[in-house]
Amino acid sequence: MSDIALSIKQLTVKVEGKEILHNINLEMKLGETHVLFGPNGSGKTTLLMAIMGFPKYRVTRGKIIFKGQDITKLSLDERARLGIGMSFQRPPVVRGVKTRDMVAACLKGQGNEERIKQLAEKANLADFLDREINYGFSGGEIKRSELMQLLAQRPTLTLIDEPESGVDLVNISLIGELLNSLLEKDCPIPERKCTGLIITHTGHILDYVNARTGYVMCGGVIGCEGDPREILTTIREKGYQECVRCFLRRTPSG
Amino acid sequence: MVETKSSKTHKDKAKAAAAKPAAFGEDIDLGIYVSSAEEQPYQADPSKLPLKTKERMLEAGVILDNPSQRTGTFIQMDNAPVHSSVRQEGVEVMAVSQALEKYDWLSDYWWQAVAVDTDKYTANVELSQHNGYFIRTLPGYKTIYPVQACLYLAKARLAQNVHNIIIAEENSELHIITGCTTALREEAGLHLGVSEFYIKKGAKITFTMIHNWNPEVAVRPRSAAIVEDNGLFLSNYVLMKPVHSLQMYPTAKCGGENAVVRFNSILVAGPGSSLDVGSRVILNAKGAKTEIISRAITTGGSIVARGYIEGNAPDVKGHLECRGLILAEEGMIHAIPELKGTLAGVDLSHEAAVGKIAEEEVEYFMARGLTRSEATATIVRGFLRVDIEGLPPLLGAELQRAIAASEKDIM
């Protein structure tokens, strides 16, 4: 089997009839972590939703290949069962469904009460297992709960939407730990299989999680690709305006 | 036939109300039902009832083969009590006709919580052959296991008339599970059930009622509770099987300070079922509290889900939550939550929501690997889960089992 986890080729995506992503190309090897930067509204979340397979995000051109298999036409749940998982930025509250039930569903019957408890303790959510999922959760609790569910689900490819947004400093280091665990950062590099694509607007998460490649998205295209720390330094010094200017300079049509 | 001291006044009032339509629900023509049935033989050992009968009763939460989980048992078939027994000191379980003979004072409770002339259904119970159960805990006694009561409709086209009196004396605790069901799979029948609850100072009653009828049965329960100081009335109602027409609007009056009332209802209406179910609480004393929770699902039938809280005393608090899920194109849910406060210092609130399952919620579960139908089932199961405070764990587990057993019919 090839060591390519995800390969996106000339991907164009429409949402409610409007083209949001134009000709996206991206490739991630198994075990790698990549980071998507970009100003608000640049299409980062749309890219994640399209990879995950949400029906509202319609692929009109191009392909998504996951571990060698063309998944472009597969449904959301089929993709999840193949090994793609996602941490939602704003997951819905589901009344009556307990956090415990959600973790159990993610474990697909593979885990027992003890395993659920362990995961909850790891995410500092032991007291949340009997609460309704996301009901009255703070920003940090939602992120931790999402990562706890993903640790139960154990996807090969994890899509993470803004893990640091709305999270205080105490929480962010725990979120970093959970992400590192999810992405097997404790494993030697050649043995890592878990792959991550992380959206970050501010880049704070890079203080906790190492990434190999960074992309800057602007107006629905990938403007540049490179070392994530280098990209972040530019963004911190000059802001996204500089990225947009740089990108426009290189695109003759503007 | 039940006779009371004040029979004459009750009879007169009932006669005057014999044609009085109910405030809500389809008007049932009482003339199409027969009012009496053959006598049923008394069963000293209810485990000897026919297997099919026991199975129907078990579906409604009535366990006859293993009495160790029950403090007492009462069974009425059509209009005849066929069994009553009790296994614990300080608890009384008997036919209401027998109780009226035994206790002169019982007539003081007769038609005191429910008015005999409420409508033609209460009137009909008074005017026709009827019986029912009398369940009482003596002061300070607590039932370890629930008392179970079964009202069983056996004869086709029968009007079953029931008048129950339930009393928890001061500082006692009484848990009851009532299963109402029918032998008939497709024939018509009518169940008219009056239940009067009296919760004395510091006493507690939990009343869990499971209804398993058939698509041709009409049901008109008429219940009311009077709750004294520091008393608690907790009522759980589950109807997940088809019924032709059911209308009820049980009322609890908190006449005592710090009385607490909770109503939980779980309603499912399939095609052809018409439900009009509410809960009404009147908070008449300082510090009284209530919570009314209803969950309604239609898979094609119609549901009117009512709720009414009235606050007439200082520092009373009430919350009404009514949520409805429409799982079929042609289903209807009409939520009518009502609040009335008559002085400053009452704290009443409600929330109501009616709709289909949110696609966003389904997709959330699908993103975790569940199929669409698994995701829907998980959400529906969650919707039906009401964590009931104050219910003994055994009863809570039984209630969840009864709900789980019917879930598959919905999905």
**Boundaries of every domain in chain A:** 4-250
Contact B363 A54 (CB under 8 A): yes
Same structural domain for residues B119 and B259?
A: yes
Same structural domain for residues B20 and B131?
A: yes
Same structural domain for residues B371 and B352?
A: no
Same structural domain for residues B121 and B173?
A: yes
**B366 contact residues in A (CB cutoff 8 A):** 75-77, 80
pLDDT tens string for chain B (411 positions)? 555 555 779 999 999 999 999 999 999 999 999 887 777 889 999 999 999 999 989 888 899 988 888 999 999 999 999 999 999 999 999 999 999 999 999 999 999 999 999 999 999 999 998 899 999 999 999 998 999 999 999 999 999 999 999 999 999 999 999 999 999 878 899 999 999 999 999 999 999 999 999 999 999 999 999 999 999 999 999 998 899 999 999 999 999 999 999 999 999 999 999 999 999 999 999 999 999 999 999 999 999 999 999 999 999 999 999 999 999 888 999 999 999 999 998 999 999 999 999 999 999 999 999 999 999 999 998 888 877 776 777 778 877 877 777 777 776
What's the confidence (pLDDT) of residue B137?
A: 98
What's the confidence (pLDDT) of residue B400?
A: 80
Same structural domain for residues B303 and B320?
A: yes
Chain A interface test: which of B368, B370, B380, B381 (most A C-beta within 10 Å): B368
Name the residue of chain B whose CA is nearest to A148's CA. B368
SS (H, E, C) A219-238: CCEEEEEECHHHHHHHHHHH
Q: Can you tell me the distance from the alpha carbon of B233 to that of B224, in angstroms, rounded to the nearest whole number?
A: 11
Burial B150-171 (b: 16+ CB within 10 A, else e): bbbbbbbebbbbbbbbbbbbbb
Domain boundary among B337, B357, B377: B357
> What φ, ψ does residue B199 adopt, rounded to 5°?
-110, 110
Residue with tokens 């409610």: A16
Chain B interface test: which of A45, A56, A77 (most B C-beta within 10 Å): A77
**A149 contact residues in B (CB cutoff 8 A):** 368
Please tell me the pTM assigned to this model. Answer: 0.86
Same structural domain for residues B275 and B336?
A: yes
**B364 contact residues in A (CB cutoff 8 A):** 88, 91-92, 94
SS (H, E, C) chain B: CCCCCCHHHHHHHHHHCCCCCCCCCCCCCHHHCECCCCCCCCCCCHHHCCHHHHHHHHHCCCCCCCHHHCCEEEEEECCEEEEEEECCCCEEEEEHHHHHHHCHHHHHCCCCCCCCCCCHHHHHHHHCCCECEEEEECCCCECCCCEEEEEEECCCCEEEEEEEEEEECCCCEEEEEEEEEECCCCCCEEEEEEEEEEECCCCEEEEEEEEECCCCEEEEEEEEEEECCCCEEEEEEEECCCCCEEEECCEEEECCCCCEEEEEEEEEECCCCEEEEEEEEEECCCCCEEEEEEEEEECCCEEEEEEEEEECCCCCEEEEEEEEEECCCCCEEEEEEEEEECCCCCEEEEEEEEECCCHHHHHHHHCCCCCHHHHHHHHHHHHHCCCCCCCCHHHHHHHHHHHHHHHHHHC
Contact B361 A94 (CB under 8 A): yes
For B302, other C-beta atoms within 10 Å of its C-beta total: 18
Region at B95 (left for phi over 0; alpha for psi -120 to 50; beta for the rest): beta
What's the confidence (pLDDT) of residue B397?
A: 80
Residues in chain B: 411
Contact B365 A105 (CB under 8 A): yes
Mean pLDDT across the stretch A65-85?
A: 97
How far is A81 from chain B, CA to nearest CA, in Å?
5
Same structural domain for residues B328 and B370?
A: no
What's the confidence (pLDDT) of residue B114?
A: 97
For A83, other C-beta atoms within 10 Å of its C-beta total: 19
Chain A interface test: which of B295, B365, B384 (most A C-beta within 10 Å): B365
**A154 contact residues in B (CB cutoff 8 A):** none
Supply A97's token pair: 């469904």
ipTM comes to: 0.94
Least confident of A212-216, A239-243, B271-275, B346-350: A239-243
Residues of B with CB under 8 A from a CB of A: 323, 358, 360-361, 363-372, 374-375, 378-379, 381-386
Note the CATH number of domain A4-250. Answer: 3.40.50.300
Same structural domain for residues B118 and B186?
A: yes
What's the confidence (pLDDT) of residue B411?
A: 67
What's the confidence (pLDDT) of residue A254?
A: 43
- The number of distinct structural domains making up chain B is 2
Same structural domain for residues B233 and B375?
A: no
Q: Is B2 within the bounds of a domain?
A: no
What's the confidence (pLDDT) of residue A186?
A: 84
Domain holding B379, by residue range, is 358-411
Same structural domain for residues B194 and B328?
A: yes
* Percent of chain A's residues with pLDDT above 90: 72
Please give the interface size between A and B, counted as residue pairs whose CB atoms are below 8 Å apart: 68
